[in-house]
Chain A
Amino acid sequence: MTLYEPVIGLEVHAEMLTRSKMFCSCAVVDNTEAPPNTATCPVCLGMPGVLPTLNAEAVEMGLRVGLALGCTIPPFNQFARKNYFYPDLPRGYQISQYEYPLAINGFLDIDLPDGGTRRIRVRRAHLEEDTGKLTHTGDGASLVDLNRAGVPLLEIVSEPDLRSAEEAEAYARQLRSILQYLGVNHGDMSRGVLRFEANVSVRPAGSDELRTRTEIKNLNSIRGMVRAIQKEVERQIHLWESGQGVRQATLGWDDDRGQLIIQRTKESASDYRYFPEPDLPLLQISPEHVAEVRQGLPELPAARRDRFCRDLGLNRADAAILTAEQAVADYYEAALAAGGAPQPVANFLIGEIFRLMNADALGRDAIGTIKVTPEALAELLRLAQEGAINLNTAKRVLDILYAEGGDPARIVAERGLAQVTDEDAIRAAVDSVLAENPAEVEAYLAGSEKVAKFLMGQVMRALRGKGQPQAVQEALDEALAARRS
């Protein structure tokens, strides 16, 4: 049996968080909330005689992404009309870029599961506008909402360098992270601000031929994209194995049913009849301007991750997790600024806070909204570090902070959670536990280590969990040793 290797290229469509639309002054609104057709004007409704005017902010954002991906910015680029009829496309053509895109020849180094990295080439990034949205009603009518029509999009096209659905996922997640860092896109896929199309083919592993590929459209989440690619790879391997071969086609993805749907084959492929948009002059971008934009780029996720490793001594995996979401990295650094130590803060963030947020189905980028402030987290860990509370108590206090907010020291004081370090109190607790459990003491003296842990637990329990573990252990060891002799 032949071993197959997938060959995957991704097109990522990112809505850009500009204030106004690509070619008119209408506000960009949240499509899931704004009433239909309220953010529209004659320009984005495609009324006769109106003309597009370019949103400079969208160009700036596109440039930032292009530069962050190491692209070349050609000295001029050009808009083009992509012609097709559909009710969500008011003019009957989409203004996009074709022959002369904004940015070309970049790359993204993705992290592989084995700890290595791989360079994925980015062919181009170009500006275009989004379409409106159709809602099909039960009675056969279609409702057109043009709030989204004309919202700026950046289409980022990779070369077919990805070799598995997992690599596609890593690419998508890292690209999403970069877009967030650049303030271009908040990465919320439930609102459709990030969408994917995948080109997929397979070939015998080790070969460098490019076989017939299919294109999967309508991928609105990273998870859905991964599943769709996996399904398509399986389908294509089956087609080659059974001798049928793969035919060029455009596929849709039904996320609810987890199914691929063949939308069109090559014979019925669209001819978009691209030609230069005569309503917009060539867009010239000077090298000075490119340099200026480059200067203004923020620290990107990979650089931040490397800095966390280098300066804070974190391991690469933790650093990658902490820097994937800008909000998380910002939160982390705020906790350090408030006096938190790098590793304990990292452990608590990744181990405890993410667990609590997961339980609430909160995305990590929502970390700025939780009731535990970075300052409170730093304070909590300081209390643990200084021995005022033990680690278990710290976790209990975190639960309280997460649910109610507040100041850790105050919570500890008000609820009497401070660690018991008083030697007499600890000794008293040890003595009473040993007195109450003569059989276990016997067993211990006969050599059972297991019983030692039980006794330790019983003492901690008697101290209502607040005993300073080391002091308790020492007192217990001492008392048992006394009984041994």
Chain B
Amino acid sequence: MIDLTLSEVLDRLNNGAVTSVALTQAYLDRIRQADPRVRAFLTLTEELALEQAAAADTRRAAGGSAPLLGVPLALKDVLATRGIQTTAGSRILQGFKPPYNATAVQKLLDAGAVILGKTNTDEFAMGSSTENSGYFTTHNPWDLERVPGGSSGGSAAAVAAGMAAGALGTDTGGSVRQPASLCGVVGLKPGYGRISRYGAFAYASSLDQIGTLSRTARDAALLLNVIAGPDPLDSTSMPIPVPDYTAALDGDVRGLRVGLPREYFTAGIQPEVEAAVRAAVEKLASLGAEVVEISLPHMSYGLPVYYLIATAECSANMARFDGVRYGQREDAGDMWEVYTNTRGHLLGPEVKRRIMLGTYALSAGYYDAYYRKAQEVRTLIREDFDRAFEQVDVIATPATPTTAFKIGEKIGDPLQMYLSDVYTTTVNLAGAAALSLPCGFDGRGLPIGLQLIGPAFEEGRLLRAGDAYQRVTDWHIHRPVVEEPTG
């Protein structure tokens, strides 16, 4: 049952083949069995989940319906959940229970979803492996010695290991797509403004966007249908209508123009990754898509621009964690010592690194050379995409340059770690939408991800292409075997 897709789960719930309570119990059993090894969850909400499931069953029995009624999901721990501990993977928020739900969470609850728990993340979503979590590192279900990617590594691993029918993550520079790729699941980052950011703990406000992790493109469409749309609580959410994303999933990609940007297939890419991505594009071509080589000339500036803008915004966004009003505080002799002790002891090294980088980039005398310049180049990157989308409908690239790396392999070398997001950050800088989906395995049996990029609010186009691809491939059917715990 836990190997079903979200769409299949919904069908079975709707036709009475299974109750939400039984389903929820099955996921909880799976979590109990597998999570001690995978360590995807920071907080389990077992009791609440079973209550929600029972309520869903009652509602359905009374003839009620809702888009996700009774479907068990997991939430990245940067999404505010009312009355449920939300730590953002940080020690500084240990025990913090927000008095509000993120808008996306509220929409899931309104749609009848069951919440299994909160998943691990790099601290405040800063990282690409979950190794920056203030609590523990999540393991990749395909190889427990390897990282699941990050920062939404807990959500990706939970879906990959059958511990949830789907999950939400957040994506600032690739934090949904990169772990999806490394864990062999589908990751969708909608266009900036498609989903309300209200209640998503901010890392870099102009780049952050909530996204979905699921088995299939169709599952992503089902989730997006529920959580998309404008929100009066988020002035940057777009006041445009939300289409029915499942309605367009007709398997037809004839005439779809797929761009292959030459800058994304250069040195540093693992050969098996390149081969798998090219093969996937050929598969789309065989279904009637046209493949066009294109150029995104400012791609190489993506990472530096990202690390200036993201860290600048981060340096301000992290300032509220001062121990004064909520979360943990380390008391001291005077006020400034309370600040320095609390932040000094309870924020992790990567968060501090980014605060310092961003503070520097915004400082008097450096602002023009760094922050302002980065914004100017960001405009050039956006224009690259605008031009490309005059030529093609979607852009196909690898989601990540390599498959999952070993735990500990890159944590000592931030620059190497940052390179893991080299194909994903430009999408956030442009505010575009992108989908990562499984397209093969390397020689070690590790999943490879294909990234499809589309204009900001053309998620439907990406889901349609992804769904068409998944109709004729079975990469997403494969399941990792998480060894049974001994004893």
- Asked if B455 is an interface residue, CB under 8 A from chain A, the answer is no
- Asked if B63 is an interface residue, CB under 8 A from chain A, the answer is no
- Verify A90–B234 contact, CB threshold 8 A: no
Kindly list chain A residues whose C-beta atoms are within 8 Å of the C-beta of B318: 92
Q: Which of A92, A144, A275, A278 touches B320 (beta carbons < 8 Å)?
A: A92
- Verify B316–A93 contact, CB threshold 8 A: yes
In chain A, what residue has the closest Cβ to B101?
A49
- In the assembled complex, how far is the CB of residue A148 from the closest CB belonging to chain B, in whole angstroms? 15
Which residues of A, 22-66, contact B by the 8 Å Cβ criterion? 42, 45-54
- Verify A273–B319 contact, CB threshold 8 A: no
- In the assembled complex, how far is the CB of residue A127 from the closest CB belonging to chain B, in whole angstroms? 14
- Verify A278–B200 contact, CB threshold 8 A: no
- Verify A49–B102 contact, CB threshold 8 A: yes
Kindly list chain B residues whose C-beta atoms are within 8 Å of the C-beta of A45: 325-326
- Asked if A347 is an interface residue, CB under 8 A from chain B, the answer is no
- Verify B235–A48 contact, CB threshold 8 A: no
- Verify A93–B319 contact, CB threshold 8 A: yes
Number of B residues, CB within 8 Å of A:
45
- Asked if B268 is an interface residue, CB under 8 A from chain A, the answer is no
B 223-267 binary contact with A (CB < 8 Å = 1; else 0): 000000000111110000000000000000000000000000000
Most buried by A among B98, B198, B235, B367: B235
- Verify A83–B316 contact, CB threshold 8 A: yes
Kindly list chain B residues whose C-beta atoms are within 8 Å of the C-beta of A90: 320, 324-325
Kindly list chain B residues whose C-beta atoms are within 8 Å of the C-beta of A279: 202, 205, 235-236
- Verify B316–A280 contact, CB threshold 8 A: no
- In the assembled complex, how far is the CB of residue B82 from the closest CB belonging to chain A, in whole angstroms? 10
- Asked if B73 is an interface residue, CB under 8 A from chain A, the answer is no
A 69-90 binary contact with B (CB < 8 Å = 1; else 0): 0000000000001010101001
- Verify A92–B102 contact, CB threshold 8 A: no
- Verify B88–A87 contact, CB threshold 8 A: no
- Verify B319–A92 contact, CB threshold 8 A: yes
- Asked if B364 is an interface residue, CB under 8 A from chain A, the answer is yes
- Verify A85–B319 contact, CB threshold 8 A: yes
- In the assembled complex, how far is the CB of residue A141 from the closest CB belonging to chain B, in whole angstroms? 10
- Verify A273–B359 contact, CB threshold 8 A: yes
State in angstroms the CA–CA spacing of A274 and B335 once bound together.
Answer: 24
Kindly list chain B residues whose C-beta atoms are within 8 Å of the C-beta of A93: 316, 319
- Verify B363–A91 contact, CB threshold 8 A: no
- Verify B235–A280 contact, CB threshold 8 A: yes
Most buried by B among A52, A87, A142, A274: A87
Kindly list chain A residues whose C-beta atoms are within 8 Å of the C-beta of B324: 87, 90, 144
Most buried by B among A45, A47, A49, A274: A49
- Asked if B371 is an interface residue, CB under 8 A from chain A, the answer is yes
- Verify B316–A92 contact, CB threshold 8 A: yes
- Asked if A281 is an interface residue, CB under 8 A from chain B, the answer is yes
Contacts A51-B197, A83-B319, A275-B312; A46 near B325 (Cβ below 8 A): yes
- In the assembled complex, how far is the CB of residue A22 from the closest CB belonging to chain B, in whole angstroms? 13
- In the assembled complex, how far is the CB of residue A383 from the closest CB belonging to chain B, in whole angstroms? 60
- Verify A53–B98 contact, CB threshold 8 A: no
Q: Which of B201, B313, B362 touches A48 (beta carbons < 8 Å)?
A: B201
- Verify B235–A52 contact, CB threshold 8 A: yes
Q: Which of A42, A48, A85 touches B202 (beta carbons < 8 Å)?
A: A48
- Verify A42–B320 contact, CB threshold 8 A: no
Contacts between chains A and B (CB distance < 8 A), count: 107
Kindly list chain B residues whose C-beta atoms are within 8 Å of the C-beta of A42: 98-100
- Asked if B57 is an interface residue, CB under 8 A from chain A, the answer is no
- Verify B316–A48 contact, CB threshold 8 A: no
- Verify B98–A49 contact, CB threshold 8 A: yes
Most buried by B among A91, A279, A281: A279
State in angstroms the CA–CA spacing of A85 and B315 once bound together.
Answer: 12
Kindly list chain B residues whose C-beta atoms are within 8 Å of the C-beta of A49: 78-80, 98, 102, 197-202
- Asked if B206 is an interface residue, CB under 8 A from chain A, the answer is yes
- Asked if A271 is an interface residue, CB under 8 A from chain B, the answer is yes
Kindly list chain A residues whose C-beta atoms are within 8 Å of the C-beta of B363: 271, 273
In chain B, what residue has the closest Cβ to A42?
B100
- In the assembled complex, how far is the CB of residue A367 from the closest CB belonging to chain B, in whole angstroms? 42
Kindly list chain B residues whose C-beta atoms are within 8 Å of the C-beta of A91: 316, 319-320
Kindly list chain A residues whose C-beta atoms are within 8 Å of the C-beta of B79: 49
Most buried by A among B198, B205, B206, B320: B320
- In the assembled complex, how far is the CB of residue B28 from the closest CB belonging to chain A, in whole angstroms? 27
Most buried by A among B96, B202, B316: B316
State in angstroms the CA–CA spacing of A142 and B86 once bound together.
Answer: 28
- Asked if B322 is an interface residue, CB under 8 A from chain A, the answer is yes
- Asked if B339 is an interface residue, CB under 8 A from chain A, the answer is yes
- In the assembled complex, how far is the CB of residue A38 from the closest CB belonging to chain B, in whole angstroms? 15
Contacts A45-B325, A87-B335, A278-B206; A51 near B234 (Cβ below 8 A): yes
- Verify A48–B339 contact, CB threshold 8 A: no
In chain A, what residue has the closest Cβ to B232?
A53
- In the assembled complex, how far is the CB of residue A380 from the closest CB belonging to chain B, in whole angstroms? 55
- In the assembled complex, how far is the CB of residue B60 from the closest CB belonging to chain A, in whole angstroms? 32
- Asked if B6 is an interface residue, CB under 8 A from chain A, the answer is no
- Asked if B93 is an interface residue, CB under 8 A from chain A, the answer is yes
In chain A, what residue has the closest Cβ to B200?
A49
In chain B, what residue has the closest Cβ to A140?
B334
Q: Which of B98, B205, B359, B367 touches A47 (beta carbons < 8 Å)?
A: B98
- Verify B198–A83 contact, CB threshold 8 A: no
- Verify B362–A273 contact, CB threshold 8 A: yes
- In the assembled complex, how far is the CB of residue B126 from the closest CB belonging to chain A, in whole angstroms? 14
- In the assembled complex, how far is the CB of residue B342 from the closest CB belonging to chain A, in whole angstroms? 11
- Verify A54–B99 contact, CB threshold 8 A: no
State in angstroms the CA–CA spacing of A275 and B78 once bound together.
Answer: 24
Contacts A87-B335, A275-B362; A281 near B98 (Cβ below 8 A): no
State in angstroms the CA–CA spacing of A46 and B100 once bound together.
Answer: 13
12 sample A-B contacts, Cβ–Cβ < 8 Å, listed by A number: A42-B98, A45-B326, A48-B93, A48-B98, A49-B79, A53-B234, A83-B319, A87-B335, A92-B320, A92-B322, A142-B335, A279-B235
Binding site for B on A (CB under 8 A): 42, 45-54, 81, 83, 85, 87, 90-93, 142, 144, 271, 273-275, 278-281
Known: A48-B320, A51-B197. 17 other contacts (CB 8 A): A42-B100, A45-B326, A47-B100, A47-B325, A47-B326, A49-B80, A49-B102, A49-B199, A50-B198, A90-B325, A91-B316, A92-B319, A271-B363, A273-B363, A273-B367, A275-B362, A279-B235
User: Nearest 4 A-B pairs (CB), nearest first?
Assistant: A92-B319, A278-B206, A273-B362, A278-B205
